[in-house]
Structure 1
Amino acid sequence: MKILPVEDAVGMILAHDMTEIVPGKSSGAAFKKGHVIKKEDIPRLLNMGKEHIYIMEFKAGDVHENEAAIRMAKAAAGQGIEFSGPSEGKVSLSSKYPGLLKVNFKALAEINSIDEAMFATLHTNQFINENTKIAGTRIIPLVIDEEKVKVVEEICKINYPIIEVKPLKKLKIGIVTTGNEVFYKRIEDKFGPVIEKKFKELGCSVIKQIFSKDDADMIAESIKTLIDEGADIITTTGGMSVDPDDVTPTGIRKSGANIISYGAPTLPGAMFLLSYIDNIPVLGLPGCVMYNDRTIFDLVVPRLVAGEIVTKQDIVKLGHGGLCTGCETCRYPNCGFGKGGLY
C-alpha cells in the first residue's frame, strides 16, 4: 500500500469507499471505490480530514474488502435471504419474506474468531417481516489474505446454512375455549379473538372454535374433534392455573397428548403447556396471552408455524432472557425478551 499526499493523487483510482460524516445530517460514502480523483475533489477531501490517499498495491493472494464481503455473505446465507452492497466494504443481508430467522450462532462464533473477519446478525428464533435487515458482514482491513476467506467459507460449508429465513406454513388452527363462565355465556369470550389475531399475523387461520365447560373429558373430546377436522395446531385457553376448577391440563392429558412441558421459565407465560398428539402441537395458553402484548406465545408459536418441533430443552433455554420488562410502549422484538437462551 502506498500513501500519497492528496494533492499528488489527482488521476489516481480509489481502491475503497471514503466516508464523509456530517454530524446530525448524514454519514455515507462521499467517494466510491473506482472514483478517479479530480483536482476539484481536493478541497472536499481536505475538509473530510483526508490529507493523504491510500493507493492499493495488491499482491498475490490478496482479496479486496468488497469481494471478501460478497464471498462471506454468499457462503453463509441459506433460503429466504437477499443481499445489498457492498457499500463501504459491507454487505447487508435482508429477508425476502416473513418467516422464522435461524442463526447457527455456534458457527457464527467460529467465523468471528477468524482474525480480520466479522459477521453480525439479529438473534435467532424470532419472527421477522419481509425486507428486514438481519445481518451484515465485512472484513476489517481493506484487503485480506484469501486463505482467511477460504477458512470462513469452509466453516460455512460444514455448518450450512449459517443464517436463513424459514418460511411460515399456512396452518389451520383449532381453539378450545374452556370455562363455565364462557360456556354458559355469563361473560363474553375475549380470548378467542386475541388468538385468532395473533395467528393471522403469522399467516394462519382459525378453522373452528369449540367452547367447553370446566370438564376434563369434554375438553379432551373437543381436542380430538379438532384433530379429526384437520387442525394443524390446537390451542386451549383458560383453566391453566392451580385452582381446583382449572382442569384444562388434565383435559389435555386425557386427549392422549404427550406433555412436553407444563410450565415455562418466562414472565409473562409461566403457566404455558406444550404437548403433542402425533406431532400436532396442543398448547395450553395462560391468561397472560390475552392481555399482554408479547408473551411465551411469541417465543414458541412462530417456531411451530415454521414446522419445527419444540423440545423441553428449548423451553428450558428461555429462562435466560425470559423476563419481559413490560415497557410502556412495547418494542418487541427490538428488546431482550426471549433473546438470552443461546447455549
Structure 2
Amino acid sequence: MKLMRTEDAVGQMLCQDITRIIKDVEKGPVFRKGHVIREEDIPVLLSVGKDHIYIWEEDDEMMHENDAAQVLYDLCRNDNLTRSEDIKEGKLELIAECDGLLKIDSERLFRVNNYGQMMIASVHNNFPVKKGQHIAGMRVIPLAIERSKMEDIKAQVGDEPIFRLLPYQKKKVGLVTTGNEVYYGRIQDTFTPVIEQKLKAFGSEVVAHEISSDDPEMVIDCIRKVLAAGADMVICTGGMSVDPDDKTPYALSHTADNVVTYGAPVLPGAMFMLAYKGENNEIPMLGLPGCVMHEKRTIFDLMLPRILAGEVLTGEDIARLGMGGYCMHCKTCIFPNCSFGVQGA
C-alpha cells in the first residue's frame, strides 16, 4: 500500500472505497475499490478531503480490509444467515434468511472485539428477527491488517459460528382460562384474544381451549383435556398471584414433570411460571399473570420467541432476565428495539 498526492495519482488504482457525505442528502462511496483514477476524478477526490490517497500494492504479509471483513463474516455465518451482497467501505453485514431467534456466543464475540483493530457489532442476544433483517456488521479498523492477526483470531474463535438463527416452530397450543369471574360469566374473557394474537405473530395457534373455575382440580382436569386434544404447548391464564383463590401454580406443578420457576425478575410479569412435561421437556407449560392481558409488553414477549425457537429454558436463564427485565413503559413502544430483555454479559 503506497501513499500518494492525489494530483499525482492519475492512472493508479484505488485500494479503498472513497466516501462522500452530504448532510441529509448522500452518504456512500463516490469511487469504489479498484477504480483507476482519471484526470477528471481529481477535483472530486479533493472535494471530499482526499489530498492524499492510498494506492494498493500487493503484500503477502498484509490483508486488505475487504478480505479481512470476509474472514470476520466466516466466523459468524451459519444456517439461516447470509451476507450483504457487496462489501461497502470495508464493511460486511449479516442478514437473516428466515424469521427466528438470534443466539449469540457473547464470550467469543467479546474475544473478537477485544482483540484490537477489528469489530463485530450486532443486535442483542435472544433477539426475535425477521427475514431480511440486518442483524450485525463487521469490519477491520485499518485499511490493511496483518494476515497473522486474522489467522490468530480465527484460531481463538474456533470453527463453531458465533451466531445462530433458530427458526420458530409452529406450536399447537392448549389454552386454559382460569377464574370464577370468567367461568361463571361475571366478566368477558379478554385474555384469550391477546394470547391468540401474540401466538399468530409467530405462526402458532390455539387448538384447544378450556375454561375453568378456581377449583384446582378442575384446572388440572382442563390441562389434561388440552393435552389429550394434541396440544404440544400449554398456556394457563389467570390465577397466578398470591390471592387465596389463585390455584393455577398448584395445578401446573401437579401436571408438569419439571417445574423450572414460579416467579421471574421481570416487570411486568413477576408472577410468571414455567414448567415442562415429558421426559425430555417436550411440552412447555406456562402460567401467565394478569399483566399479560393489559400491558403491551411483558415477560410473555421475552419468553415466547425463545420457547417457539425450541429452547428448553432453565432457572438460570430466567434469573439472568433481571438485567434488562424492567420495561420502561415508553409512550411509543418500539419493542424489541429497546432495552427490555437485553441481558448483561
Q: Verify same fold: TM over 0.5.
A: yes
Give the Cα–Cα distance (whole angstroms) in 2 for the partners of residues 329 and 4 of structure 1: 51
Shift of 1:276: 1.1
The equivalent position to 1:333 in structure 2, one of 314, 328, 336, is 336
Q: Which amino acid aligns with 1:164?
A: R
1:192-231 aligned at under 5 Å gives the runs: 192-231=192-231
The equivalent position to 1:309 in structure 2, one of 309, 312, 322, is 312
1:206-285 aligned at under 5 Å gives the runs: 206-278=206-278, 279=281, 280-285=283-288
* Aligned residue number for residue 5 of structure 1: 5
Q: Is the 8 A contact 1:234 1:283 kept in 2?
A: yes
Q: Is the 8 A contact 2:256 2:275 kept in 1?
A: no
Q: Which amino acid aligns with 2:127?
A: Q
Q: Which amino acid aligns with 2:287?
A: G
Give the Cα–Cα distance (whole angstroms) in 2 for the partners of residues 256 and 51 of structure 1: 71
Q: Which amino acid aligns with 1:324?
A: C
Give the Cα–Cα distance (whole angstroms) in 2 for the partners of residues 304 and 111 of structure 1: 29
* Aligned residue number for residue 119 of structure 2: 118
Shift of 1:257: 4.2
Could you tell me the TM-score, scaled by structure 2's length?
Answer: 0.96
Structure 1 gaps of 5+ residues are: none
Confirm whether residue 137 of structure 1 aligns to residue 138 of structure 2: yes
* Aligned residue number for residue 18 of structure 1: 18
Give the Cα–Cα distance (whole angstroms) in 1 for the partners of residues 219 and 156 of structure 2: 49
Shift of 1:50: 0.8
Give the Cα–Cα distance (whole angstroms) in 1 for the partners of residues 127 and 222 of structure 2: 31
SS at match of 2:306: helix
Give the Cα–Cα distance (whole angstroms) in 2 for the partners of residues 229 and 257 of structure 1: 19
Confirm whether residue 170 of structure 1 aligns to residue 175 of structure 2: no
Q: Which amino acid aligns with 1:307?
A: G
Q: Which amino acid aligns with 1:319?
A: G
Q: Is the 8 A contact 1:176 1:222 kept in 2?
A: yes
Aligned residues: 341
Shift of 1:243: 0.9
Q: Is the 8 A contact 2:171 2:233 kept in 1?
A: yes
Confirm whether residue 92 of structure 1 aligns to residue 68 of structure 2: no
Shift of 1:58: 3.1
Output the aligned Cα RMSD: 1.2
SS at match of 1:107: helix
SS at match of 1:234: strand
Q: Is the 8 A contact 2:111 2:157 kept in 1?
A: no
* Aligned residue number for residue 298 of structure 2: 295
Shift of 1:233: 1.0
SS at match of 2:115: coil
Structure 2 gaps of 5+ residues are: none
Could you tell me the TM-score, scaled by structure 1's length?
Answer: 0.96
Q: Is the 8 A contact 1:99 1:165 kept in 2?
A: yes
* Aligned residue number for residue 34 of structure 2: 34
